[in-house]
Copies of this chain bind each other. A is one copy, B any other.
Amino acid sequence: MKKGLMIVISGPAGSGKGTVNAHLLATGEFVYSVSATTRAPRPGETDGVNYHFITREDFEARIRSGDMLEYTEYCGNYYGTPRKEAEEVLNSGKNLILEIEVEGARNIKKKFPEAVLIMLLPPSFRVQEQRLRGRGTETEEKILERLARTREEIKESDFYDYAVYNYDGADKIAANEIYAIVTAERLATRRNESVASTYFDEN
C-alpha cells in the first residue's frame, strides 16, 4: 500500500477553505486532520469534529511525549496536530489534509519536507475584503484585524509549493486543482522507486 500524502492547506479568512475541503473529503481519498486545542469550544463546535478540546496540562504533556507533529500558541491558546491519527491516515494510503496557518505550515515543512503546501486564496485582496464584509457576521474591527493578518501571512508565504485561487462560485474548480496537484505529486519520480527498479520486476 502506497502511503498517502501530507497536504497542508492554508488560506486567509474568505478564501473558502471549508467549502473546498468539503469537496476533497467527498472523494473519499482525503481525511481531515482534527487539530487539538486548549481554547474553549464555541457554540456549535463538537469535540472530535472541529477540534479535540483538551486541557493545557494534557496539551503540554503531549508536546513533551512527542505526540504533536507541530503546534503553535496563538492568543494564549495552543493549537496542534496529533501525530498518531496523522500516521494512521497516511499508512492507510489516504491523503491527510492539515488546515493550518502559515507558522504551523513552516514547522511542518521543516519536519516533513515531503509535505505538499498549498495556499488557497481569494482572487485578490479586494475580493477578500468584499467577501468578509459581505458575510455581515463580523464587526468592522474584526474584519480589519483579519485583513491585517492576511497582509502579514501572505508576505511570509513564499515557501508554499502551490497557490490556488478560489474565484467567486468556482470552489469546485479550486478543489479540482488541488486534486490535480495531489495526483501529480503522487506521480512524481522523486517520490517513487525508480522506474528501472520496478518496470522489469515481473520477468
Interface residues of A (CB under 8 A from B): 119, 121, 124-126, 151, 154-155, 157-158, 160-164, 177, 179-181, 183-185, 187-190, 192, 194-196, 199-203
Q: Name the distance in Å between A181's Cβ and chain B's nearest Cβ.
A: 4
A200 to B154, CA, bound (A): 10
Residues of B within 8 A of A164 (CB): 187
Q: How far is the CA of A163 from the CA of B187 in the complex (A)?
A: 6
A12 (CB) vs chain B CBs: closest residue: B199
A52 to chain B, nearest CB (A): 31
The answer to whether B189 and A158 have CB atoms under 8 Å apart is yes
**Contact among B119, B160, B184 with A162 in the assembled complex (CB-CB below 8 Å):** B184
Kindly identify which residue among B157, B177, B199 contacts A154, using a CB–CB cutoff of 8 Å: B199
A113 to chain B, nearest CB (A): 15
CB distance from A131 to the nearest CB of B (A): 14
Are A125 and B199 in contact, with the CB atoms below 8 A?
A: yes
CA distance A188 to B202 in the complex (A): 36
Q: When chains A and B are docked, how far (Å) is the Cα of A163 from the Cα of B184? A: 10
**Closest approach, in angstroms, between the C-beta of A22 and any C-beta of chain B?**
20
Other A-B pairs, 13, CB within 8 Å; known A125-B200, A158-B196, A181-B184:
A124-B200, A125-B199, A126-B202, A158-B189, A158-B194, A160-B189, A162-B184, A163-B195, A177-B183, A177-B187, A179-B180, A180-B180, A184-B184
B contact residues around A151 at 8 Å (CB): 200
Chain B residue numbers with a CB within 8 Å of A180 are 179-181, 183-184, 187
